[in-house]
A and B are shown apart, each in its own frame.
Chain A
Amino acid sequence: MNPFQPVGKAVLGFLEATGKLALFTFMAVSHCVRPPFYYRLLLRQMIDIGYYSLPVVGMTTLFAGMALGLQTYAGFSRFSAEDAIAKVVALGITRELGPVLAGLMVAGRIGAAMAAELGTMRVTEQIDALDTLSTNPFKYLIAPRIIAGLTMLPLLVFVGDIIGIFGGYIVSVYKLGFNPGVYISQTFKVLEFIDVFSGLVKAGVFGFIVTLMGCYNGYNSQGGAQGVGAATTNAVVSASILILIFNYVITELFLTA
Chain B
Amino acid sequence: MTTPKIKLKDVHKGFGDKVVLDGVDLEVAPGESLVIIGGSGSGKSVTLKCILGLLTPDSGQIEVDGEPIVGIGRAERERINSKFGMLFQGAALFDSLPVWENVAFGLIQGERMDRAQAKEIALEKLAAVGLEADVGELWPAELSGGMQKRVGLARAIATEPEIIFFDEPTTGLDPIMGDIINDLIVKCVRELGATALSITHDMASARKISDHIAMLYKGKIIWIGKTEEIDSSGEPHVDQFIHGRAEGPIQMELRRL
- List the interface of chain A (C-beta within 8 A of B): 117, 120-121, 124-126, 128-136, 140
Q: Tell me which of A121, A124, A136 contacts B74 (CB under 8 A).
A: A136
Quick one: which of B49, B92, B96, B110 contacts A134, CB cutoff 8 A? B110
Return chain B residues, CB-CB under 8 Å to A117: 96
Is residue B52 contacting chain A, with contact meaning CB distance below 8 A?
yes
Contact B110–A124 (Cβ < 8 Å): no
Instruction: Identify the B interface with A (CB < 8 A).
Output: 49, 52-54, 74, 78, 81-82, 84-86, 88-90, 92-96, 105-106, 109-110, 155
Among candidates B52, B53, B92, residue contacting A126 with C-beta atoms closer than 8 Å: B92
B105→A135 contact, CB < 8 A: yes
Q: In whole angstroms, what is the CA distance A117 to B94 when docked?
A: 11
Other-chain contact of B90, A125, A130, A132, A140 (Cβ < 8 Å): A125
**What is the CA–CA distance of A117 and B84 in the complex, to the nearest angstrom?**
26
Q: A133-B110, A134-B82, A134-B106 are in contact. Are A126 and B74 (CB under 8 A)?
A: no
Q: CB < 8 Å: which of B74, B84, B93 contacts A132? A: B84
Which single residue of chain B is at the shortest CB-CB distance from A128? B54
Task: Give the complex CA separation of A75 and B68 in angstroms.
Answer: 74
In the complex, what residues of B have CB within 8 A of residue A132's CB? 52, 54, 81, 84-86
Q: A131-B81, A135-B109 are in contact. List 6 more A-B contacts (CB 8 A).
A: A117-B96, A128-B88, A129-B86, A133-B105, A134-B78, A135-B105
Q: Is the CB of B95 within 8 A of A126?
A: yes
Chain B residues whose C-beta falls within 8 Å of the C-beta of A125 in the assembled complex: 88-90, 92
Q: In the complex the two chains form, what is the Cα distance from A147 to B121 in whole Å?
A: 32
Of the A-B pairs whose beta carbons lie under 8 Å apart in the complex, a sample of 20, sorted by A's number, is A120-B95, A125-B89, A126-B92, A126-B93, A126-B94, A128-B52, A128-B92, A129-B86, A129-B88, A129-B94, A131-B53, A132-B81, A132-B84, A132-B85, A133-B81, A133-B109, A134-B82, A134-B109, A135-B109, A136-B74
Query: What residues of chain A lie closer than 8 Å to B96, measured between beta carbons?
Result: 117
Interface of B is mostly: mixed
| B88 CB contacts on chain A under 8 angstroms | 125, 128-129
Complexed CA–CA distance, A132 and B158 (Å): 13
Complex CA distance for A132 and B92, rounded to whole angstroms: 11
Residue of B with least CB distance to A117: B96
B252 to chain A, nearest CB (A): 23
CA distance A134 to B53 in the complex (A): 11
Q: How far is the CA of A120 from the CA of B106 in the complex (A)?
A: 21
Q: State the CA gap A134–B81 with chains docked (Å).
A: 6
| A128 touching B78, Cβ below 8 Å | no
A131-B54 contact in complex given A125-B89, A136-B74, C-beta closer than 8 Å: yes
Q: Is the CB of B52 within 8 A of A131?
A: yes
Chain B residues, CB < 8 A from A136: 74, 78
With both chains docked as a complex, state the minimum distance between the C-beta of B62 and any C-beta of chain A, in angstroms.
15
Interface centre among A117, A124, A133, A136 (most CB of B within 10 A): A133
How far apart are B2's CB and chain A's nearest CB, in angstroms?
Answer: 25
Minimum CB–CB distance from B103 to chain A (whole Å) comes to: 11
User: Which residues from A are CB-within-8-Å of B106?
Assistant: 133-134
**Measured CA separation A217–B117 after assembly (Å):** 37
Whether B92 pairs with A129 at a CB distance below 8 angstroms is: yes
B8 smallest CB distance to A (angstroms): 18
How many Å lie between the Cα of A120 and that of B92 in the bound state?
10
How long is the Cα–Cα vector from A133 to B97 in the complex, in angstroms?
A: 15
Among all A-B residue pairs, the 10 with the closest Cβ atoms: A125-B92, A134-B110, A129-B92, A132-B86, A133-B106, A135-B109, A134-B78, A134-B82, A134-B81, A128-B54
Q: In the complex, what residues of A have CB within 8 A of residue B86's CB?
A: 129, 132
The distance from the CB of B113 to the nearest CB of chain A, in whole angstroms, is 13
Instruction: Tell me, in angstroms, the Cα distance from A156 to B54 when the chains sit together.
Output: 38
Whole-angstrom distance from the CB of A253 to the nearest CB of chain B? 36
Residues of A within 8 A of B82 (CB): 134
Chain A minimum-CB-distance residue to B78:
A134
Chain A residues contacting B53 (CB-CB under 8 Å) are: 131
Chain B contacts for A135, CB-based, 8 A: 105, 109-110
User: A120 — which chain B residues lie within 8 A by C-beta?
Assistant: 95
A133 to B159, CA, bound (A): 9
Q: Which residues of B contact A140 (CB under 8 A)?
A: 109
Q: How far is the CA of A205 from the CA of B109 in the complex (A)?
A: 31
- Is A124 a contact of B92 with CB atoms below 8 Å? yes
Residues of B within 8 A of A131 (CB): 52-54, 81
- Give Cα A140 to B110, complex, Å: 12
**Which among B81, B85, B86, B92 has the highest number of chain A CB atoms within 10 Å?**
B92
Min CB–CB distance B81 → chain A (angstroms): 5
What CA separation (Å) do A131 and B55 show in the bound complex?
A: 11
Output the least CB separation between A38 and chain B (Å).
8
